[in-house]
């Protein structure tokens, strides 16, 4: 299969908060330049092509072959309204983490790649806040995974942007809910390396959400009035977004 494909596929599954759907896995692997470069060198049909001519998407059969070899160690579990791949045994996941995510650099890189994917920074992959805004159906996968990966990658600028964006907060309240959103702030507030200005903005919004949880939990449409009432006199730029 090639060491890059095996390492990245297993590492991404372990790094994901709840696992990855098969279409997500294929898209994430296709966006990984090292995986695609290794595939091109191993493929007789791709090896002699110029970079412009080489495939930009990993063929599904390549992932399928690896999946069938890994299948005894994987399980499909329902989460976020879809079926996600994760490790069947906790010990397998721990072994994968130790081998492929054991050092800080590799761990952060994996989270950064997944953060870019769920944040819509991968060309050709859209990640809107809403799957169907008229029906108030949020993008559960983005809501669940994006803040998790940005925090683990220590991508503070992007994380602060996400957690101070009304559209994201609104969608998350309509999806995973107030408790899950508050957890995003608590996780970020205690993360090492977060700048004081960003930390203060997130503490203010997170605190306002905690005080408003009994209101915005059952009625997410009250978010604007609750945040405005609690934060309107505070001058921090992050809160004003």
pLDDT digits (tens, 9 = 90+) for 123-134: 999 999 999 999
Residue 163 — very low, low, confident or very high, per pLDDT cuts 50/70/90? Answer: very high
Strand partners, 79: 82
Phi-psi sector, 195: left (phi>0), alpha (psi -120 to 50), beta? beta
C-alpha 98: how far from its chain's center?
21
pLDDT digits (tens, 9 = 90+) for 64-111: 999 999 999 999 999 999 999 999 999 999 999 999 998 899 999 999
- In the chain, which ranges are E strands? 74-79, 82-87, 130-132, 137-138
Residue 207 has pLDDT above 60, yes or no: yes
Reported residue count of the chain is: 241
Nearest to 148 by CA among 213, 196, 79, 210: 79
CA distances from residue 70 to 23, 66, 136 in whole angstroms, order as listed: 16, 6, 37
pLDDT at 112: 97
The three-state secondary structure class of 221 is: helix
CA distance 192 to 195: 9
Q: What single string gives the DSSP state of each residue in 188-209? A: HHTSTT--HHHHHHHHHHHHHH
| Contact in structure between 85 and 21 (CB atoms under 8 Å) | yes
pTM for this structure?
Answer: 0.92
Residue 14 has pLDDT above 80, yes or no: yes
């Amino acid at each position: 299969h090639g060491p890059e494909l095996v390492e990245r596929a297993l590492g991404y599954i372990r790094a994901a908060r709840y696992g990855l759907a098969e279409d997500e896995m294929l898209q994430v692997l296709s966006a990984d330049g090292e995986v695609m470069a290794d595939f091109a060198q191993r493929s007789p049909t791709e090896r002699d092509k110029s970079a412009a001519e080489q495939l930009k998407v990993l063929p599904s059969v390549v992932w399928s072959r690896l999946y069938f070899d890994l299948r005894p160690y994987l399980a499909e579990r329902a989460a976020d309204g879809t079926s996600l791949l994760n490790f069947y045994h906790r010990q397998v996941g721990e072994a994968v983490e130790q081998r492929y995510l054991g050092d800080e650099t590799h761990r952060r890189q994996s989270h950064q790649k997944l953060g870019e994917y769920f944040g819509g920074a991968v060309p050709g992959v859209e990640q809107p806040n809403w799957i169907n805004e008229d029906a108030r159906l949020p993008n559960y996968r983005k809501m669940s995974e994006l803040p998790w990966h940005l925090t683990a990658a220590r991508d503070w600028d992007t994380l602060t942007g996400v957690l101070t964006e009304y559209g994201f907060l609104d969608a998350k309240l309509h999806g995973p809910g107030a408790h899950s959103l508050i957890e995003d702030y608590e996780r970020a507030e205690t993360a090492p390396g977060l700048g004081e200005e960003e930390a203060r903005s997130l503490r203010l919004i997170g605190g306002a959400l905690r005080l408003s949880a009994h209101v915005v939990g059952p009625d997410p449409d009250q978010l604007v009035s609750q945040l405005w009432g609690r934060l309107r006199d505070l001058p921090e730029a992050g809160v004003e977004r």
